[in-house]
């Protein structure tokens, strides 16, 4: 089942439900693109990544992220922006290999937010951790604090940014859960790409919503987080590790 | 809307500057501001009355940016993306100017004249993009 479309449908359904007349309904559907209310702390966005379905040599999610946020600048490899990367884990004992994407884990207790001296690194009420680059001073404390190596720094002046994904020199950036897509009822680009590739290894949704696919799946299967010892309670969970 | 009252008060000083520039523009015709693609409504040219927009667009943008970034409110009025989509118009060859290129760009045309440096466009794109339509915002691929 196509999760992003399903979510969008339920979003449309909800907005249709509050309308009173057929004439108003049309209006409300065209407005459904735009989130008019602040996000709520009862929501907790998350992803569940099934490492058994993630295919070793596929880079669909990484490519989609690169395209979506235009992370294409021509810079030396050591300063290339990396919002999401594919990692292969190998069990030394058994030799079993698993492949998984790692992006910002959208921690419930994010160390990157703790250390930020300006309040630029922050967590939205719905659990998405992002950088307010208007007030980021580029000190890079957050990059050092993040145990998942999830953040990148923009070293060079940029051109041709996407309208929905502003980025610029001297600030830190990371996976933002495609927040503008989430706010308008569409799933993250990586999730969509994984579906398009036919692997369906990632599902996303509001983990607090008992009707959401992710909530139900998390109840059903055993999943884990990376470095549970750090007690950061990430929003990104993995199955089959 | 409380913000507008505050904005109106703050705008007094700036409005003087605008009057001066408009007058001298009439004489020297150095200030050419490109016309927007469409009017907001039959009654009103832009999302707020023109005098409010002239004086307060910076503050409106800043207010909206916090609502959007911190709280996920994404309406199109007062959004920088929507401003750019409507206000940045193509030249004769059909190309959109960037803010870094020439005075044909809506934002640049006035800000250069007023000698005000803006750094919005170090991060934000200053050009409209095909995938964005004026009334729908981002066209989502699904
Ligand atoms: S993964 Fe890193 S950048 Fe993301 S919330 Fe956690 S500490 Fe912050
Ligand atoms: S680089 Fe920016 S977001 Fe990171 S800690 Fe410094 S000011 Fe905060």
* Chain B residues touching A35 at Cβ < 8 A: 72-75
Could you report the per-residue pLDDT of A130-161, keeping only the tens digit for each? 999 999 999 999 999 999 999 999 999 998 89
Could you report the per-residue pLDDT of A36-82, keeping only the tens digit for each? 889 999 999 999 999 999 999 999 999 999 999 999 999 999 999 99
pLDDT band at B116 (very low <50, low <70, confident <90, very high): confident
Burial of residue A166, with CB atoms counted within 10 A of its CB: 0-12 exposed, 13-18 middle, 19 or more buried: buried
**pLDDT over threshold 60, residue B91:** yes
Cβ contact B129–A163 (<8 Å): yes
* Calpha distance A147→A111 (Å, rounded): 8
* Chain A residues touching B125 at Cβ < 8 A: 160-163, 166
B80 phi/psi in degrees, rounded to 5: -60, -40
- The DSSP code for B72 is -
pLDDT band at B7 (very low <50, low <70, confident <90, very high): low
Q: Chain B: give the shortest CA distance to residue A188, in Å.
A: 11
Q: Give residue A85's pLDDT.
A: 97
Could you report the per-residue pLDDT of A99-133, keeping only the tens digit for each? 999 999 999 999 999 999 999 999 999 999 999 99
Q: Chain A: give the shortest CA distance to residue B27, in Å.
A: 36
pLDDT band at B109 (very low <50, low <70, confident <90, very high): confident
* Chain A residues touching B141 at Cβ < 8 A: 192
What's the token pair of residue A64? 């989609």
Question: Measured from the CB, is residue A207 less than 6 Å from ligand 1?
Answer: no
Average pLDDT over residues A17-23: 40
Cβ contact A179–B73 (<8 Å): no
Cβ contact B138–A4 (<8 Å): no
Interface test with B, best of A135, A163, A188 (most B CBs within 10 A): A163
Q: Give residue B2's pLDDT.
A: 59
* Chain A residues touching B73 at Cβ < 8 A: 35-38
On average, the pLDDT of chain A sits at 88
Could you report the per-residue pLDDT of B118-142, keeping only the tens digit for each? 889 999 999 887 644 444 444 433 3
Tell me the three state secondary structure of residue B89: coil
**pLDDT over threshold 70, residue A87:** yes
Cβ contact B76–A183 (<8 Å): no
Average pLDDT over residues B93-111: 83
Cβ contact B142–A122 (<8 Å): no
**What's the CATH code, domain A45-239?**
3.30.70.20
Could you report the per-residue pLDDT of A226-235, keeping only the tens digit for each? 999 999 999 9
ipTM above 0.85, yes or no: no
Q: Give residue A153's pLDDT.
A: 98
Q: Which residues are bridge partners to A173 per DSSP?
A: A152
User: How many Å lie between the centroid of ligand 2 and the Cα of residue A117?
Assistant: 7
Q: Give residue B6's pLDDT.
A: 58
Cβ–Cβ < 8 Å for A128, A106 = yes
Could you report the per-residue pLDDT of B17-67, keeping only the tens digit for each? 444 444 444 444 467 788 888 888 888 889 999 999 999 999 999 988 889
User: How many Å lie between the centroid of ligand 1 and the Cα of residue A106?
Assistant: 6
* Calpha distance A174→B120 (Å, rounded): 20
- The DSSP code for A165 is B
- The secondary structure element, H or E, covering residue A218 is helix A213-220
Could you tell me the CA-to-CA distances from A211 to A62, A221, B14 in Å, in that order? 29, 16, 52
Question: Measured from the CB, is residue A172 less than 6 Å from ligand 1?
Answer: no
Cβ–Cβ < 8 Å for A4, A195 = yes
Which residues line ligand 2 at a C-beta cut-off of 6 Å? Answer: A 115-118, 120-121, 131, 136-142, 172
* Chain A residues touching B71 at Cβ < 8 A: 38-39, 124-125
Could you report the per-residue pLDDT of A191-216, keeping only the tens digit for each? 999 999 999 999 999 999 999 999 99
CB pairs under 8 A between A and B: 83
Nearest CA to ligand 1 atom 2: A146
B105 phi/psi in degrees, rounded to 5: -75, 135
Q: Give residue A39's pLDDT.
A: 93
pTM: predicted TM-score of the whole model, two decimal places: 0.80
Q: In chain A, where are the structural domains located? A: 1-32, 45-239
User: pLDDT > 90: what percent of chain A?
Assistant: 83
Cβ contact B74–A184 (<8 Å): yes
């Amino acid at each position: 089942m196509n999760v992003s479309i399903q979510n969008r449908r339920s979003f449309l359904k909800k907005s249709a439900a509050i309308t009173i007349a057929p004439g108003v309904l049309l209006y409300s559907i065209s407005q459904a693109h735009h989130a008019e209310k602040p996000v709520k702390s009862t929501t907790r966005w998350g992803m569940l990544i099934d490492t058994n379905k993630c295919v070793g040599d596929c880079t669909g999610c990484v490519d989609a992220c690169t395209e979506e946020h235009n992370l294409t600048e021509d810079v030396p490899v050591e300063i290339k922006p990396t919002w999401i990367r594919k990692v292969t884990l190998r069990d030394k004992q058994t030799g079993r290999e698993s492949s998984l994407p790692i992006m910002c884990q959208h921690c419930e207790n994010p160390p990157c937010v703790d250390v930020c001296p300006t309040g630029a690194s922050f967590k939205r009420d719905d659990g998405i951790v992002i950088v307010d680059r208007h007030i980021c001073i580029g000190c890079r404390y957050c990059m050092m604090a993040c145990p998942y190596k999830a953040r990148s720094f923009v070293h060079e002046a940029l051109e041709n940014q996407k309208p929905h994904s502003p980025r610029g020199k001297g600030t830190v950036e990371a996976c933002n859960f495609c927040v503008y897509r989430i706010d308008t009822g569409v799933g993250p680009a990586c999730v969509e790409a994984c579906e398009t590739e036919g692997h369906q290894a990632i599902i996303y949704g509001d983990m607090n919503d008992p009707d959401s696919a992710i909530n139900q799946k998390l109840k059903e299967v055993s999943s884990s987080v990376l470095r549970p010892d750090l007690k950061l309670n990430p929003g990104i969970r993995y199955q089959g590790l | 809307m409380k913000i507008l009252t505050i904005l109106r008060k703050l705008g007094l000083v700036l409005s003087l500057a605008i009057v001066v520039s408009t007058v001298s523009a009439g004489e020297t015709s150095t200030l050419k501001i490109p016309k927007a693609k469409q009017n907001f409504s039959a009654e009103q040219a832009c999302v707020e009355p023109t005098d409010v927009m002239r004086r307060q667009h910076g503050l409106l943008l800043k207010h909206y940016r916090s609502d959007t970034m911190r709280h996920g409110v994404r309406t199109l009025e007062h959004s920088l993306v929507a401003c750019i989509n409507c206000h940045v118009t193509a030249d004769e060859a059909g190309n959109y100017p960037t803010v870094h290129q020439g005075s044909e760009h809506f934002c640049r045309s006035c800000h250069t004249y007023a000698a005000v440096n803006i750094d919005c466009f170090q991060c934000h794109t200053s050009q409209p993009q095909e995938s964005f339509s004026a009334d729908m915002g981002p066209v989502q691929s699904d």
